[in-house]
Amino acid sequence: MKLTVAGLSVRYGATQAIEGVDVAAHPGEVLAVIGPNGSGKSSLVKAVAGLVKHYGVIRFDGSTVRPERIGYMPQDIGARAALTVLEAVLLGRLGRLGLRVRPDDLAAVEAVLGELDLKPLASRYLGELSGGQRQLVFLAQALASEPSLLLLDEPISALDIRHQLEVMEIVLRMTRARGLTTLVILHDLNIAARFADAVMVMRKGRVVCCGKPGDVIELEMVASVFGVQAALSSAPDGRLIVTPLRAL
C-alpha cells in the first residue's frame, strides 16, 4: 500500500505539533522518521493511524478511506502483565478479548508467532518476559491483523544494542516478505542508516529533508537539526556510520 501525505497539520490546543508535512512511503520499504524530541514525529504517526484530529490529506493507495487494519505500535503499550503472549497477540488481531476466536484468527496469530520465533513463549505471561521479548510480542501484536501499513513509534528506545538490532532485522524482514509499507520513528541515526530505505528528518513540526540515508544523513544536517558535531565513516559492509563528537 502506497501512503501519501500532503499538507498534514496537527494542533493540540494552541500548540502546533506539525505543519504542512508532505511525505510518501512505498510497499516493501522502511521509512525512518528521525528528529529531536518534540519535532512532531509521534503526532505524524498518530495522524496517519487516525488517532488524532488533523488537517491535510492522507491517501492509502490513492484513497482517503483509512484501511480497517493498520499495524500500530505506540511508545507506551500499557499491556497487562497478566496476559499471556498468545492472548496479547490475539488482542492485536481481535481488538478485544472475550470474542469467539475463529480458526483463521488463531492461524494468523500462530503464523506471526512462528515468524518471530515466539511460539515457545506463547503460554508465558508478559510480566515474565525480558524487555526485548516484550517488544517482539508487541511487534507481533501489530502484525497480527495482517496489515499492509505498519506504524512503529520508537520500538527500540528501551532496548540494549543486541535487541535493537534483532527487532530492526525482523522489521526489515517482515516489511520485505509481506510487502508492508513501514514507518518507524527512531532516535539512533546509525540504526536509521542501516535499516531504512528512506529517511525523513523533522524539526519543529516540519520536514527538513527526506531521501536515501546517504543523501539525508550528512554533517550539516546533523549539526543544524540535532545540534551535534559528528564525523561520518563507512562500516565494512559499506553502511554509513555516524560518530557524535560534541554538542554544539
Q: Which segments of the chain have a pLDDT < 70?
A: 78-80, 95-99
Asked if 39 and 154 sit in the same domain, the reply is yes
Asked whether residue 55 falls in the same domain as residue 153, the answer is yes
The SS3 assignment for 28 reads coil
Buried b or exposed e, range 153-177, using 16+ CB within 10 angstroms: bbbbeebeeebbebbbebbbebbee
Number of domains the chain contains: 2
The separation between CA 45 and the C-alpha centre of its own chain, rounded to angstroms, equals 8
| Residues 67-77: tens digit of each pLDDT | 888 999 998 77
Judge whether 112 lies within some domain.
yes
Grid coordinates representing 186 are 527512531
Give buried/exposed letters for 136-150 (b at 16+ CB in 10 A, else e). bbbbbbbbbbebbbb
Size (the chain), residues: 248
Shared domain check, 100 and 46: no
If DSSP codes are grouped into helix, strand and coil, which group holds residue 19?
A: strand
**pTM value?**
0.94
Q: Is residue 138 part of a domain?
A: yes
pLDDT, residue 214, reads 96
Residue 32 main-chain phi, psi, to 5 deg: -90, 135
Q: Per the domain annotation, does 245 fall within a domain?
A: no
Distance, CA of 220 to CA of 204 (rounded, Å): 17
DSSP classification of residue 3: E
Q: For residue range 88-131, what is the model confidence (pLDDT) as tens digits?
A: 999 888 865 556 778 888 899 999 999 999 999 999 999 999 88
Of the candidates 62, 43, 64, which has an alpha carbon nearest to the alpha carbon of residue 52? 43
